[in-house]
Chains A and B, each alone.
Chain A
Amino acid sequence: MNNALDRAGWIFVAIMALAAVLVPVAALGTPEGALVHMPSYLVQLLGKYLCYAILAIALDLVWGYCGILSLGHGAFFALGGYAMGMYLMRQIGARGVYANPLLPDFMVFLNWKALPIAWWGFNSFAYAMLMVVLVPGLLALGFGWFAFRSRVTGVYLSIITQAMTFALFKEFFRNDFGFGGNNGLTDFKDILGFPLQSDAVKAGLFCVTALFVNLSYLVSRAIVRSKYGKALIATRDAESRMRFLGYRVENIKLFAFVVSAVMAGVGGALYVPQVGIINPSEFAPGNSIEAAIWVAVGGRGTLVGAAIGAIAVNFGKTYFTGALPEYWLFALGALFVGVTLFFPAGLMGALSWRWKQRAPKETGT
Chain B
Amino acid sequence: MSEENARLTSSLLYLDDVQVTFDGYRALRGLSLVLAPGEMRAIIGPNGAGKTTMMDVITGKTRPDVGEVYFEGRHDLTQLDEAEIATLGVGRKFQKPTVFENHTVHDNILLAAKAPRSVRATLRARPTPESGRAIERILERIRLTNVRDWRAGALSHGQKQWLEIGMLLAQDPKLLLVDEPVAGMTDSETAETAAMLKEIAREHSVVVVEHDMAFVRELDVKVTVLHEGAVLAEGSLDQVSADERVVEVYLGR
Give A residues with C-beta under 8 Å from B. Answer: 223, 226-228, 230-231, 233-234, 237-238, 240-249, 251-252, 255, 360-361, 363-365
Contact = CB atoms under 8 A, between A and B. Distances in A.
A227 B151 contact: no
Nearest to A232: B122
B104 A244 contact: no
Nearest to A248: B83
A241 B123 contact: no
Contacts of B112: 245
Contact of A237 (B102, B119, B123): B102
A257 to B, nearest CB: 12
Contacts of B167: 245
Contacts of A240: 61, 82
Contact of B123 (A228, A247, A248): A228
Given A244-B92, A245-B167, A255-B119, A233 B100 contact: yes
A244 B164 CA distance: 12
21 contacts: A227-B122, A227-B123, A230-B111, A231-B122, A238-B98, A238-B99, A238-B101, A241-B99, A243-B81, A243-B82, A244-B59, A244-B92, A246-B83, A246-B86, A246-B87, A246-B171, A247-B83, A361-B149, A363-B107, A363-B149, A364-B151
A234 B111 contact: yes
A238 B153 CA distance: 12
B95 to A, nearest CB: 13
B126 to A, nearest CB: 8
A226 B103 contact: no
Contact of A248 (B61, B98, B117, B153): B117
Given A227-B110, A364-B102, A245 B119 contact: no
B215 interface: no
A244 B86 contact: yes
A228 B149 CA distance: 19
Interface string B120-147: 0011110000000000000000000000
B103 A223 contact: no
Interface of B: 59, 61, 81-83, 86-87, 91-92, 94, 98-104, 107, 110-112, 117-119, 122-125, 149-151, 153-154, 167, 171
A233 B87 contact: no
Contacts of A234: 100, 103, 111
Nearest to B102: A364
Contacts of A244: 59, 82, 86, 91-92
Contacts of B87: 246
A67 to B, nearest CB: 11
Contacts of A230: 103, 107, 110-111
A237 B153 CA distance: 11
A234 B107 CA distance: 10
Nearest to B115: A227
B102 A363 contact: yes
Contacts of B86: 243-246
A138 to B, nearest CB: 17
Nearest to B93: A244
Nearest to A252: B119
A243 B104 contact: no
A333 B153 CA distance: 33
A249 B119 CA distance: 9
Given A223-B123, A234-B100, A234-B103, 17 more contacts: A226-B124, A227-B110, A227-B122, A228-B123, A230-B107, A231-B122, A238-B99, A238-B100, A243-B81, A244-B59, A244-B86, A245-B86, A245-B112, A246-B117, A246-B171, A360-B154, A363-B107
Nearest to B173: A246
B108 to A, nearest CB: 8
A234 B153 CA distance: 12
Q: Which of B82, B98, B153 has the most CB of A within 10 A?
A: B82
Contacts of B151: 363-364
A33 B79 CA distance: 74
B117 A363 contact: no
A356 to B, nearest CB: 9
A134 to B, nearest CB: 19
Contacts of A226: 122-125
Contacts of A252: 119
A241 B98 contact: yes
B135 to A, nearest CB: 13
Contacts of B149: 361, 363
A246 B171 CA distance: 9
A51 to B, nearest CB: 27
Contacts of A364: 102, 151, 153
A365 to B, nearest CB: 5
A241 B83 CA distance: 10
Contacts of A247: 83, 117
Contacts of B122: 226-228, 231
A361 B150 contact: yes
Nearest to A246: B86
B32 to A, nearest CB: 24
B13 to A, nearest CB: 16
A231 B83 contact: no
Contacts of A361: 149-150
B98 A245 contact: no
Nearest to B154: A360
B125 A227 contact: yes
A243 B149 CA distance: 24
Contacts of B107: 230, 363
Given A246-B86, A247-B83, A241 B125 contact: no
